[in-house]
């Protein structure tokens, strides 16, 4: 079997790419050349070029262009045009063009208050293109996806604190199968059901995020308008931060109106990696369609 088809290879590539992004972020004003970045992360220039291209689908230079402030500001302006047109026509937001078709339902207030009583939650750890993640699911759908930066025990403790009365069933094989649906190696239309646990306000914000498209960036104010909450951008920001379904509820697409990448539950470097990864794929799809 080819080494690059083995589980965990993409996760290992992400670790190397994340180091490169961290170095570039710290030295952005100098725009260091690839040979310097490669040396800083302990790889040859050729190896870094190969890893970036295999992981992101584009060259390091093109990928890194998507992480600049100029790109972010242009993306915000483009989102403003799309949102203005959509809102003026009475629509809640632009259509979501994505191979992954996500449907969702909110837990009832009674179910949330029960803290998982009578509920079995399957959970496990799996490799993803953005590092190892803890996934959780109920018979109704996926309810949890958190990336791991610390210990597994810390993530498991956080999951238990959210559902203290639930029965937690460890199933790493099931988690790997779900991760394969969320991050397939080859694009293919597929459906995934999410179960949302939050307040009505939070769910309103998360559903607005689901209407954004891969590669899109928008400000907190733009998201607030899209969610029908134009006077509550700060509260919208809090709802974004409360999301525990990484990538699927795409809070990584929200940045400051200045174009700067703001805080992210799973680290700013991972947020930048997600943005660049999506932008690269959106550009490739656009080119293929020309």
Catalytic positions: 251
Concatenated DSSP letters for 180-238? Answer: HHHS-SS---EEEEEEE-S-HHHHHHHHHHHTS-TT--EEHHHHHHHTT-TT-HHHHHH
Q: Cα 151 vs. chain centroid, distance in angstroms?
A: 20
Which residue, 245, 253, 264, is CA-closest to 94?
253
Contact 243, 218 (CB under 8 A): no
Give just the sign of the alpha carbon dihedral 155, 159, 161, 162. Answer: positive
Distance, CA of 140 to CA of 204 (rounded, Å): 20
């Amino acid at each position: 079997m080819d080494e690059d088809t083995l589980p965990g290879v993409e996760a290992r590539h992400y670790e190397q790419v994340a180091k490169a992004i961290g170095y570039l972020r710290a030295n952005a004003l100098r725009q260091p050349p690839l040979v310097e970045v490669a040396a800083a992360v302990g790889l040859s220039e050729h190896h870094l070029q190969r890893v970036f291209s295999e992981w992101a689908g584009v060259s390091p230079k093109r990928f890194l262009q998507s992480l600049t402030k100029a790109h972010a500001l242009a993306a915000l302006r483009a989102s403003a045009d799309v949102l203005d047109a959509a809102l003026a026509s009475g629509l809640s937001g632009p259509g979501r063009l994505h191979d992954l078709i996500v449907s969702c339902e909110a837990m009832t207030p009674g179910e949330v208050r029960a803290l998982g009583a009578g509920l079995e939650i399957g959970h496990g750890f799996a490799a993803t293109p953005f590092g190892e993640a803890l996934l959780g699911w109920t018979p109704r759908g996926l309810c949890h996806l958190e990336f791991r930066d610390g210990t597994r025990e810390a993530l498991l403790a956080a999951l238990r604190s959210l559902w203290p009365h639930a029965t937690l069933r460890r199933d790493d094989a099931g988690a790997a199968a779900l991760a394969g649906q969320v991050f397939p190696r080859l694009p293919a239309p597929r459906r995934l059901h999410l179960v949302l646990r939050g307040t009505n306000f939070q769910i309103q914000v998360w559903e607005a995020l689901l209407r954004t498209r891969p590669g899109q960036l928008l400000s907190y104010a733009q998201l607030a308008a899209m969610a029908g909450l134009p006077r509550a951008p700060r509260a919208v920001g809090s709802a974004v931060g409360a999301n525990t379904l990484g990538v699927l509820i795409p809070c990584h697409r929200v940045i400051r109106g200045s174009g700067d990448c703001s805080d992210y539950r799973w680290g700013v470097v991972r947020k930048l990696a997600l943005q660049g990864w999506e932008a690269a794929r959106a550009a490739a799809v656009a080119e293929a369609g020309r």
